[in-house]
């Protein structure tokens, strides 16, 4: 009896170990489709789906199509962990593009790393993300590469800038990481930080912080937060009379924020890891396809999510030429795929990219844009020279 049981157990185990890769090839997308973080997540879903359609139309992986499997992470750690676990153990994906927030990545990525499932972060920009583990990389350039550009641009617009106020969401890993870079860069540029104010991503009323900022007579305000909080903060800053320049971080890099701050978003300076005018053939195709469908320029979060899916497909193609993907053992494929991702070079909408030894993106060009509102709900990011 005992022997039969252990035999059964053994064969179940070896079955699990010998699990083949399903076709179409499943790639997991774990982003925020609900909660406030879905202001970014919606753009990521669009970008990922465009990649699926576009890459399958061009033969997928050596003739085998890919299939995206979506698991909503919502906006918190528990949601991301749950989504990752489902994708890894239930949906048997070859790898995961996600999650939306760095705050979620620090909790969910270690689960994939332990399971040896490659993760490509599509928007996680906090310091330390690729260092979570060998299976974690990202196509979203870190705050260290992005944030300083916005401050330099603010100084270009107003070379007389001297006194600045810094505000950040203290309960969010990305925001605390980004404000560190903003504050260091401000000091490096000889700006005088008159006040540092904290808030929560769940806050709606910023009277205390705005009052403190107005009391300092600053000529630049620098904000690190997510979309809803930052949008409301900007609105209240302007309504209470602040007239100077505003630099927003990555959390302000979405038109989903426009209805929140409305006309008050006008003029906010935001650094970019993507430009719709980037001249590569890969971007021209992506931007054309996006524009045809959505009647506007593609946003950064869509371009990065598209790139995440593309990197998986490009790396899978290399492995498929050695042995058809359907013939691989899933566990072995995940390991080989991670290795291939890290050594590859990719022609993407973000330009040509590769990864450093930790899995951080090596990207050629960055940009800065300024928000231009047409009315209370609609606006654009105008790219600056
Ligand atoms: N860059 C953010 C992060 O790493 C996510 C999107 S913008 C708030 O959490």
Instruction: Find out whether the beta carbon of 278 lies less than 6 Å from any atom of ligand 1.
Output: no
Q: Write the class of the CATH domain 21-141+279-363.
A: alpha beta
Residue 7 neighbours by CB under 8 Å, 6+ apart:
none
Domains 21-141+279-363 and 144-272 alike in fold: yes
Across all residues in the chain, what is the average pLDDT? 95
pLDDT tens digit sequence for 97-133 = 999 999 999 999 999 999 999 999 999 999 999 999 9
The domain ranges of the chain are: 21-141+279-363, 144-272
Is the per-residue pLDDT at 350 higher than 80? yes
Tell me the best of 251, 272, 301 to mutate to test the pocket of ligand 1, counting ligand atoms within 8 Å of each CB and taking the most.
251
pLDDT tens digit sequence for 229-260 = 999 999 999 999 999 999 999 999 999 999 99
Domain 144-272 has CATH 3.20.20.450: no
What local confidence, expressed as pLDDT, does residue 5 receive? 52
Tell me the best of 140, 142, 176 to mutate to test the pocket of ligand 1, counting ligand atoms within 8 Å of each CB and taking the most.
140
pLDDT bin (cut points 50, 70, 90) of residue 1 is very low
CA of 257 to the centre of ligand 1 (A): 14
State the DSSP H helix or E strand holding residue 361, giving kind and residue range, or none if neither: strand 361-363
Residue nearest to atom 4 of ligand 1 (CA): 124
DSSP assignment string, 284-341: HHHHHHHHHHHSSPPPHHHHHHHHHHHHHHHHHHHHHHHS-GGGSBHHHHHHHHHHHH
Q: DSSP 3-state assignment of 210?
A: helix
Is the per-residue pLDDT at 18 higher than 90? no
pLDDT tens digit sequence for 159-178 = 999 999 999 999 999 999 99
Residue 146 neighbours by CB under 8 Å, 6+ apart:
125, 250, 271, 272, 273, 366
Phi and psi angles of residue 121, each rounded to the nearest 5 degrees, phi first: -75, 125
ipTM: 0.97
Q: How far apart are CA 204 and CA 11, in angstroms?
A: 56
Residue nearest to atom 8 of ligand 1 (CA): 251
Q: Return the ligand 1 atom nearest residue 100 CA.
A: 5
CA–CA distances in Å: residue 280 to residues 45, 155, 287, 358: 23, 30, 10, 26
What local confidence, expressed as pLDDT, does residue 155 receive? 98
Is the per-residue pLDDT at 53 higher than 80? yes
Q: How many CA atoms lie within 13 A of 380 on its CB side?
A: 10
What's the whole-number mean pLDDT along residues 41-53?
Answer: 98
Q: Return the ligand 1 atom nearest residue 250 CA.
A: 7
Instruction: Find out whether the beta carbon of 250 lies less than 6 Å from any atom of ligand 1.
Output: yes
CA–CA distances in Å: residue 168 to residues 150, 161, 179, 186, 223: 16, 20, 6, 15, 6
Q: How far apart are CA 317 and CA 331, in angstroms?
A: 17
What's the whole-number mean pLDDT along residues 43-57?
Answer: 98
Instruction: Find out whether the beta carbon of 226 lies less than 6 Å from any atom of ligand 1.
Output: yes
Instruction: Find out whether the beta carbon of 254 lies less than 6 Å from any atom of ligand 1.
Output: no
pLDDT tens digit sequence for 304-348 = 999 999 999 999 999 999 999 999 999 999 999 999 999 999 999
Is the per-residue pLDDT at 8 higher than 70? no
The sheet carrying 220-224 orders its strands as: 192-199, 163-169, 220-224, 245-248, 269-272, 367-373, 379-383
Instruction: Find out whether the beta carbon of 32 lies less than 6 Å from any atom of ligand 1.
Output: no
pLDDT tens digit sequence for 56-82 = 999 999 999 999 999 999 999 999 999
What local confidence, expressed as pLDDT, does residue 264 receive? 97
pLDDT bin (cut points 50, 70, 90) of residue 267 is very high
Is the per-residue pLDDT at 352 higher than 80? yes
Q: How far apart are CA 183 and CA 223, in angstroms?
A: 11
């Amino acid at each position: 009896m005992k022997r039969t049981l252990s035999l059964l157990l053994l064969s179940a185990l070896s079955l699990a170990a010998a699990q083949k890769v399903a076709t179409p090839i499943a790639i997991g997308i774990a982003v925020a489709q609900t909660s406030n973080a879905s202001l970014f997540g919606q753009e990521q879903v669009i970008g990922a789906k465009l990649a699926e359609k576009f890459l399958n139309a061009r033969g997928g992986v050596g003739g085998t199509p890919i299939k995206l499997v979506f698991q909503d992470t919502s906006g918190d750690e528990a949601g991301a962990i749950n989504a990752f676990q489902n994708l890894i153990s239930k949906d048997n994906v070859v790898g995961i593009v996600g999650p939306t927030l760095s705050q979620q990545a620090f909790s969910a990525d270690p689960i994939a790393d332990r399971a040896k499932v490659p993760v490509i972060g599509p928007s996680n920009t906090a310091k330390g993300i690729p260092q979570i583990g060998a299976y974690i990389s990202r196509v979203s350039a870190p705050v260290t590469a992005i944030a300083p550009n916005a401050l330099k641009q603010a100084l270009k617009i107003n070379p007389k800038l001297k006194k600045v106020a810094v505000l950040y969401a203290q309960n969010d890993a990305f925001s605390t990481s980004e404000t560190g870079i903003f504050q260091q860069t401000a000091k490096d540029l000889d700006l005088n930080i008159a006040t540092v104010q904290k808030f929560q991503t769940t806050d709606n009323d910023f009277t205390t912080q705005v009052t403190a900022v107005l009391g300092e007579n600053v000529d630049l305000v620098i904000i690190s937060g997510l979309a809803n909080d930052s949008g409301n903060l900007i609105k209240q800053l302007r309504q209470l009379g602040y007239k100077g320049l505003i630099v927003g971080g990555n959390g302000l890099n979405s038109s989903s924020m426009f209805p929140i701050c409305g006309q008050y978003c006008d003029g906010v300076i935001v650094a970019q890891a993507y430009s719709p005018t980037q001249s590569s053939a890969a971007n021209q195709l992506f931007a054309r396809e996006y524009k045809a469908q959505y009647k506007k320029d593609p946003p950064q979060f869509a371009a990065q999510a598209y790139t995440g899916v593309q990197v998986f497909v490009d790396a899978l193609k290399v492995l498929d030429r050695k042995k058809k993907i359907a013939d691989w053992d899933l566990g072995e494929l995940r390991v080989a795929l991670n290795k291939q991702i890290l050594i590859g070079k990719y022609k993407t909408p973000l330009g040509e990219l590769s990864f450093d030894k930790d899995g951080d993106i090596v990207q050629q060009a960055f940009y800065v844009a300024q928000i231009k509102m047409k009315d209370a709900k609609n606006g654009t990011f105008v790219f600056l020279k």
